[in-house]
Amino acid sequence: EIEQRRALLGDSLLYDVLLQCGNIREADLMYPPLDSVGLNRLLEAITTSSYDTLKKDCLIYYLLKWYMDGRELRFQQDRCISPQFAKLADAYWCLDSGNNVAYAVSLLSDCRLNTDYASKILQAIASAPNTDPYPSYHPLIVKYIRTAKPLLTEPQDLDTYIIALASSNADSLFDAWQFQRTFSEEDPTRTRLLKKLLQWCVTRAFDFFFSKPIFFLLIPNHYFVQQNHVQTPSVISSLFPSLHSKKASYTLTPLLLHLKTHPTQPLPNSFPHQLSVLPSFKTSLALDSFKQGTTQTLSNCIENSWLRLSEQGLPFPPLLKLA
């Protein structure tokens, strides 16, 4: 289990980082110990490390948590470990093990705790096998950054945060837009984050459209008749909530019929005209790629979308809220 988590975290756990910072060499070979001899070797390395007594006790406290019988609490009392240091060790253990990551994020919101190792913490949250009670790790990343307020300096951390902002809930895309605007127009970071956000929007669009054939297969055949007419437009409206007019519903009928009868075949070149009736930002961005008949044109679509929307005089932030 520990080795699996280490592999997910780039071959380095938070505990590995802590050991290395104490001048303990080959930390990944010492932890986890495979037997009593290995445990004694690890304890000896901790004892002779460059850390002070408190940090050494916290490293041992972390190890005792693996017994899951509360013995670390007795050790905390015996060694007089301050509550904030015990909380930090608890949070690191949860993140390394992938257990109760939401609890770890709550612990890290304590203003008394340091905000070191933000990149590794974000990586641990994003790779957590379970994020209960949250539906995904995105709200946890947003909560961690907004409460713990770590300093984000690495490009990957900023990318992770803006995608987490956009994905947290239905109304959070505007927050992501506002975040990239906190950087100056001359800063290349702003350009990179904008492209990252656009790429996320386009990916969502493809996920939206290419997931629909699965649902079309569940629609009874009597809803589809010859000459590409749908007997019950309300079926389309339920699949495409953004459609409110009967005309738009019937315009999309050829596309729906194709997906119903040929769910595994690529879309013909004529279907982008049907897709264009969807009044949403997703379709506006995805249209160019659909015309090419492949998802491999995403990067070109991203490069051209902002220019195309600007030339049409469309306000960008309101469109984002439709994505």
pLDDT digit string (tens) for 126-172?
999 888 888 889 999 999 999 999 999 999 999 999 999 998 876 67
- Residue 77: inside a domain, yes or no? yes
Which residue type, as a one-letter code, is found at position 305? Answer: S
User: Between the CA atoms of 212, 214, 216 and 222, what dihedral angle is there, to the nearest 10 degrees?
Assistant: 180
Domains in the chain, number: 1
DSSP class of residue 240 equals -
Which domain does 56 fall in, by range? 1-111
- Residue 162: inside a domain, yes or no? no
Please report, for residues 64, 207, 303, the alpha-carbon distance to residue 203 in angstroms, rounded to integers and kept in the order given. 44, 6, 14
Identify the bridge partners of residue 299 per DSSP, sorted by sequence position.
Answer: none
DSSP class of residue 100 equals S
Q: Which long-range contacts (CB under 8 A, 24 or more apart) does 166-172 make?
A: 166/197, 166/200, 166/201, 167/136, 167/138, 167/200, 168/138, 168/139, 168/142, 169/139, 171/321, 172/142
* Residue 54 parent element (H or E): helix 53-64
Please report, for residues 164, 195, 200, 298, 306, the alpha-carbon distance to residue 301 in angstroms, rounded to integers and kept in the order given. 22, 11, 12, 5, 9
Please report, for residues 221, 229, 230, 254, 260, the alpha-carbon distance to residue 225 in angstroms, rounded to integers and kept in the order given. 8, 6, 6, 11, 12
- Residue 38: inside a domain, yes or no? yes
Tell how far CA 321 is from the center of its chain.
19
- Residue 248: inside a domain, yes or no? no
- Residue 218: inside a domain, yes or no? no
The model's pTM: 0.67
pLDDT in tens, the chain (323 residues): 899 999 999 999 999 999 999 999 888 899 999 999 999 999 999 999 999 999 999 999 999 999 999 999 999 999 999 999 999 999 999 999 999 999 999 999 999 998 999 999 999 999 998 888 888 899 999 999 999 999 999 999 999 999 999 988 766 788 998 999 999 989 999 999 988 888 887 777 555 554 544 444 444 444 444 334 444 344 444 444 444 444 444 445 555 555 555 655 555 555 544 444 443 433 333 444 443 443 333 334 434 444 444 444 433 333 333 33
- Residue 42: inside a domain, yes or no? yes
- Residue 96: inside a domain, yes or no? yes
Express each pLDDT in 49-67 by its tens digit.
Answer: 999 999 999 999 999 999 9
Question: CA-CA distance, 176 to 179, in Å (whole number)?
Answer: 5
- Residue 174: inside a domain, yes or no? no
Please report, for residues 2, 173, 197, 256, 307, the alpha-carbon distance to residue 315 in angstroms, rounded to integers and kept in the order given. 49, 15, 16, 30, 12
Residues with Cβ within 8 Å of 173's Cβ and at least 6 positions away in sequence, in order, are: 165, 166, 320, 321, 323
Which residue type, as a one-letter code, is found at position 221? Answer: N
